[in-house]
Chain A
């Protein structure tokens, strides 16, 4: 996985000063552009991750709270790189309450390892329901369990009764769970 040090090297920036972060964070796209940088990271996302590394955890919550969608996505993406323990789990829960497919997908990255199994299953099912590709879900196959299989089976039954299709990736997951 990409590290903060790698992002710092690629972006060629010094450490951010905490006092500068509130003004810089929303302006990251204007300041650092939105160009591909490394392994799925764009320049603005990398800059924002490094800014979050410079501030205390409470401020990460504040930045997320007042963020626009791109800022919220950048916070969710940066979470697994930050030394913050479980403190940002409420941010994942917030993202998973939305109906924005981008936020729901972003909440299921590596930091979602800290999400309870009950919340994680609901989130995966929500992805299926919203049409978010299951490839967005970190460690899907390791973590999917028989209870998720039961939930998917019931959902497939509802869809079938309504004459509607299941997304192919959800059907594939269900097949795999039934084989186990």
Chain B
């Protein structure tokens, strides 16, 4: 089984996680830029973070035979802090990079006027840089936030097939798929979505334009819930091709629209990592 986790915050995870992910079949990840537990107060904190997403973190992943790409954006929560707003002007530098496969995470947190402005500005950046967009849906007031996000996407002029609406659930999935967007689901230990609920959604809505991720970060989360969902799909009557579609081919197709997804030599990377002298680094 090959797994592509299309949304995981590896910066917050340990090398033990990389090891377990590699052993379980995770061979590619996309790490979206988002907020950290501690709010940032200046643009420099963001650039160092973005540098890590296109520098250090792909290097860490490569030690375990995992290919790492990133999405870059000013997230909606910190878009509300005027001290962080200059980050918008720095984004074009990063959106030009080979390892950046989408603009994201953008969208809403509290649905403020500042968030409206920054969301629209970054959809325009996605158009300028010919990149797909990863849109986070808010945890509070999610149904309204989802509808409003779809409206903003439609007003922006971006092709809905180049937009992934993430953290969906039973209540919000239909609107996303009907609008022609990709539907993302974050499988969490207790909250957003569980493997069994995910299987029920796949039964109802099918496997087309659906992405499953662990969204593992610094909170209570589990980077192997993609794998657990694949297992739940098999136990629930889906076949191996369906699993490969949802957990590999769909993310490849979505992020492949950037023209920058590089999955070459992955098997070779995986085969050599155990004997790679790089693993002695920091010994």
Question: Which positions in A face B, CB cutoff 8 Å?
Answer: 23, 26-27, 29-30, 66, 68-70, 72, 98-102, 129-131, 133
Q: How many B residues, CB 8 Å from partner?
A: 21
The answer to whether A30 touches B260 (Cβ under 8 A) is yes
Cα A31 to Cα B71 with chains together (Å) = 21
Cα A30 to Cα B93 with chains together (Å) = 16
* Supplied contacts A29-B98, A68-B54, A70-B98, 13 more A-B pairs, CB within 8 Å: A27-B96, A30-B98, A30-B260, A66-B47, A66-B93, A68-B55, A68-B97, A68-B98, A68-B99, A69-B55, A72-B55, A98-B56, A130-B281
B277 interface residue (CB < 8 Å to A): yes
Cα A130 to Cα B280 with chains together (Å) = 6
Given A68-B54, A100-B59, the answer on whether A131 and B277 have CB atoms closer than 8 Å is yes
Give the nearest-CB partner of A70 in chain B: B98
The answer to whether B282 touches A130 (Cβ under 8 A) is yes
Cα A29 to Cα B260 with chains together (Å) = 10
Give the nearest-CB partner of A72 in chain B: B55
Given A130-B280, A131-B277, A131-B280, the answer on whether A100 and B56 have CB atoms closer than 8 Å is yes
Cα A98 to Cα B99 with chains together (Å) = 19
Cα A72 to Cα B56 with chains together (Å) = 12
**B contact residues around A26 at 8 Å (CB):** 93, 96-98
B283 interface residue (CB < 8 Å to A): yes
**A contact residues around B93 at 8 Å (CB):** 26, 66
Interface CB pairs A-B, < 8 A, 6: A26-B96, A66-B47, A98-B56, A99-B282, A102-B59, A131-B280
What is the 8 Å Cβ interface bit string for chain B, positions 245-283, against chain A (1 contact, 0 not)? Answer: 000000000000001100000000000000001101111
